[in-house]
């Protein structure tokens, strides 16, 4: 029998996002494809991610760093979408803010990156079921050693302490923290987040299979064909699910 108060038997999803403005979002990509195109891609990924979350959860909001971003995010996400401004500074404080807010509203908290080409079908439903079946933490790993999703059913503030953000050690450090806190984690199938030109080139090869159609269209508008002046990088090693889970 659920111990969650009536009216709170619902997952709450917060998409972690910056307002997609030229020069203010996807700056690493902007240096390769131009600030305007990078912002257009960020906008497409944010909207596709919101749509994917709404298809699998009833309460979907946006978590951002600054109040100055709220008006633009409301315009993009639509009226009635909760916009949560983080307390403190940095990603650790942002994730703690998001979890605290979500668990005040619903029974499980899912925090999702906006730097992905839409949501893999069924991923959020599976995450919620895993949490309700006893997992303490669910992680959606990226191919770069980070994660695009973290979900919990209780607030564990130390889960986000001293994580080497923006490095290939994020997932490993988070799993180590779960062990330290005696938490039971579950790792989903890997999914791609888009931070660099190499990520974008890999994404372009999968464009027909992307769940986010705005993102697919934005990628298709970019000229990513290899040329002598701009050769295609060597294929990256994409970890298998077994390799990711064995970390």
What token pair was written down for 22? Answer: 């030229």
Q: Which helix (H) or strand (E) holds 148?
A: strand 147-152
Confidence of residue 1 (pLDDT cuts 50, 70, 90): very low
The structural domains of the chain, ordered by start, are 11-245 (3.90.550.10)
pLDDT tens digits for range 144-173: 999 999 999 999 999 999 999 999 999 999
> From CA 112, how far away is CA 127, in angstroms rounded?
12
Residue 39, burial from CB neighbour count under 10 angstroms (0-12, 13-18, 19+):
buried
pLDDT at 224 over 80: no
pLDDT at 239 over 60: no
pLDDT at 130 over 70: yes
pLDDT at 106 over 70: yes
**SS3 assignment, position 141:** strand
> What is the percent of the chain where pLDDT is above 90?
74
> From CA 38, how far away is CA 166, in angstroms rounded?
19
pLDDT tens digits for range 165-191: 999 999 999 999 999 999 999 999 999
Spell out the alpha helix ranges (H) of the chain. 27-33, 35-54, 70-77, 90-105, 123-132, 170-180, 197-204, 213-221, 241-245
> From CA 229, how far away is CA 239, in angstroms rounded?
29
pLDDT tens digits for range 35-47: 999 999 999 999 9
pLDDT at 247 over 70: no
pLDDT tens digits for range 72-83: 999 999 999 999
Residue 54, burial from CB neighbour count under 10 angstroms (0-12, 13-18, 19+):
middle
> From CA 56, how far away is CA 71, in angstroms rounded?
25
Mean pLDDT of the chain: 88
**Residue that has been written with the tokens 């005696």 in this structure:** 182
- The pLDDT value given to residue 72: 95
């Amino acid at each position: 029998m659920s111990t969650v108060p009536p009216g709170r038997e619902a997952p709450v999803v917060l998409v972690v996002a910056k307002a997609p403005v030229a020069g203010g979002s996807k700056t690493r990509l902007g240096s390769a494809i131009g600030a305007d195109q990078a912002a257009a891609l960020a906008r497409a990924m944010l909207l596709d991610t919101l749509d994917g979350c709404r298809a699998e959860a009833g309460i979907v909001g946006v978590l951002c760093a600054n109040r100055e971003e709220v008006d633009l995010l409301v315009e993009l996400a639509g009226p009635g979408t909760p916009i949560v401004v983080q307390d403190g500074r940095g990603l650790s404080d942002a994730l703690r803010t998001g979890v605290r807010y979500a668990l005040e509203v619903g029974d499980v908290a899912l925090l999702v990156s906006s730097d992905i080409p839409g949501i893999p079908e069924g991923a959020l439903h599976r995450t919620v079921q895993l949490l309700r079946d006893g997992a303490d933490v669910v992680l959606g790993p990226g191919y770069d050693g980070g994660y695009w999703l973290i979900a919990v059913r209780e607030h564990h503030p130390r889960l986000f302490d001293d994580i080497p953000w923006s490095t290939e050690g994020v997932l490993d450090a988070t799993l180590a923290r779960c062990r330290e806190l005696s938490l039971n984690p579950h790792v989903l199938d890997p999914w791609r987040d888009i931070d660099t030109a190499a990520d974008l080139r890999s994404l372009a090869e999968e464009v027909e299979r992307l769940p986010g159609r705005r993102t697919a269209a934005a990628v298709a508008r970019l000229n990513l064909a290899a040329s002598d002046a701009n050769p295609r990088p060597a294929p990256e090693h994409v970890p298998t699910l077994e390799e990711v889970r064995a970390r």
